[in-house]
Amino acid sequence: MQKFQTNFYQIPPSKLSFEQAQQELNQLTIFLKKLDQAYYNKDMPLVDDATYDQLRQRFNSIEKNFPQFIRQDSASKTVGVKPTNGLKKSTHLIPMLSLDNIFKVEDFKEFIKRIQRYLGLTPKELKNLHFIAEPKIDGLSINLTYKHGKLIQASTRGDGTTGEDVTENIKTLRNLPLTLSDYFPDTIEIRGEVYISKQDFFSLNEEQEKNNKRLFANPRNAAAGSLRQLDPEITRSRPLSLFVYAQGYSDQPIADTHEHFLHHLQRWGFTVNPLFKVIQNAQEAEKFQQEIIYQRSALPYDIDGVVYKVNSIALQNRLGFIGRSPRWATAWKFPAEQVITRIEKIEIQVGRTGALTPVALLEPINVGGVIVTRATLHNEEEITRKDIREHDKVIVQRAGDVIPQILQVDPSSHSENRAQPFQFPTRCPICGSIAEKHQNEVVRRCTGGLTCKAQIEERIIHFCSKEAFNIKSMGKKTVLEFFYLKLIQQPADIFRLHNYHETILKRKGWGEPSLKNLLTAIDQHRKMPLDRFIYALGIRHIGIATAKILARHYSSYHNWKEQMLAARQIGSEERLNLESIEGIGPAIADEIAAFFTEKHNLITLHDLEKELTIQNVQYQQTGKLARKTVVFTGTLSNMTRSEAKNIAERLGAKVTGSISQKTDYVIEGHDGGSKARKARELGLICLNEQDWNKLVQSEET
């Protein structure tokens, strides 16, 4: 298993600054894709499972705290990777999604609360909510398709939509029924996990070693490598087993609960994990978790946690999915390790918006298969609270939503020979400007603005990044080279680099082909969608998701700019409209107004307008709700506000939080209050819940 250096921060996601959150999400996206490629397509994990789970949990936690930074290629929206080996490809009838992970009983309680909030369950209804707990087998996910009771296809998970066809290989498994007996649908997908037992794994590696062949890293990779063979006879020689646990597509209902579905699978001849259990609340889940941890080492197969699913199939269907995961299921993973290393130095980094971030440079240490050399300390308060000093030994943990995290200073460091407490600078280490900490903020920021080289550099790097203008030939190294040559001092300068053709060709590493490729890539990005342009500007708090909301609401660049200039005035109609957009609010509105107040930002925009064509938002939806503004007020009886909002947006509507003349529909639940009264005063279209449901049904049919 290879080792990687990581630059991921160690502080809780809720305490990250906006710049740190965005930077770490970018790093994690690249890192997770690399790990997925190795794991899914090569059966050669680069890190252990616990570390991978921790990285995923870290990623999800940051996105939860900073939804404005959710990228188009977010790891939370993808499952696995596209298959790349010589096997044929197969498309699942229903996508094979992944599970969100939890690590403690508080997480499970929050899982239940999210379900309660989404479904609007009363305390009495909540008591009737049951879950199925199943040990999570550490194997290769498989999708089995049966038509008229006969197995016609088997495929791996792949990227969740398309997997590898391993039909002939799967038929070699001894505990797989090739035909279904008794009642069965015409078409059904049955899902499970192919695995190798611990004892069989040891025997297989002994055989591999005897024949001078590559050893498998663990049972999961042995199972994956064995099933994904081009020759079924190799698969037949491997001791593979199968547990099934889920249903994909089915043209007929099978059961009303997941428990009944598992019993039905057993009647068909499948093997389900015998340790599954019905539980009702967090206390029972915690007890079951401890029981499984106690049994774990004695089990004949590897598990890495327990999966908890809502038992009711009807509630599963109502809850649906969000991103890459179902709302009705979660995986409670087992804990990871802690190690001790030493802080060699604490240095200060300056980000795009001037944030001063302390970073602990560590003696390299292997934590769960990953070499960790850096850990961000976030701010001076964090350093003071934990009394962290240079040369201290510290306890580092990679678990849960803090990866890697400096838990505390190792007690052995508390001696008279400790270094002096770290003195956080009050001036920017790059430009020397005063570094201020505003009220209610924990981050100290350089006041130099665009006179600070670090901020200008980071701003241009952000502008060229994948999520923004995606100019692939303009990576960080190239940006810095041109910046120090003074060829680029602001974003628009990128589009004028052709004026420096001869200067660039004189630089080491640049020739006609590479320069031509660069200039071609730049010209290809002179047309830019509005949402990516807004994101590229680097306005504080504006991530990909928030940029999309703004672009969708204002439709064109000139409309957005005109409205934002007017929104600088607190209390103006434009400012109130901006704040009322679902997902924006006063804090983000303040940052946008501040951006448009700065003269140098307006100069930057004007300069970019001369170089670019900023494309209007193209609406694909048709129907009565397409491009309509909808406001919900009062309490809905048949669904929660979140559920209703998701439906409205899916049908092309814009959901806002306040009433205005521009509102197209007001949906009244019970006790609509002042919004309902204002809507009538303005003569707006008001629909009760029954009328709203009829409108939705007519649009969805």
- For 282, how many CA atoms within 13 A lie in the half-sphere containing its CB? 12
Q: Are 319 and 310 in contact, with CB atoms under 8 Å apart? A: yes
What is d(CA 1, CA 369) in angstroms, rounded to the nearest whole number? 7
CA-nearest of 114, 97, 11 to 61 is 11
Q: Are strands 5-6 and 370-376 parallel, antiparallel or unpaired?
A: parallel
Residue 127 buriedness (CB in 10 A; 0-12 / 13-18 / 19+): exposed
Is residue 71 within 8 Å of residue 544, measured between CB atoms?
yes
| Residue 283, SS3 per DSSP | helix
Work out whether the CA dihedral 273, 279, 284, 285 comes out positive or negative: positive
Calpha distance 342→410 (Å, rounded)? 9
Question: Phi and psi dihedrals of 362, rounded to 5?
Answer: -105, 155
Spatial neighbors of 610 by CB under 8 A, at least 6 apart, are 492
Tokens found for residue 467 = 């999520």
Q: Tokens 């999570």, residue? A: 136
Q: Distance between CA 676 and CA 674 in Å, rounded? A: 5
Which residues are catalytic, by number? 136
Of 428, 474, 464, 423, nearest in space to 448 by CA: 428
Q: For the chain, how many residues are written?
A: 701
User: How many whole angstroms separate alpha carbon 630 and alpha carbon 642?
Assistant: 13
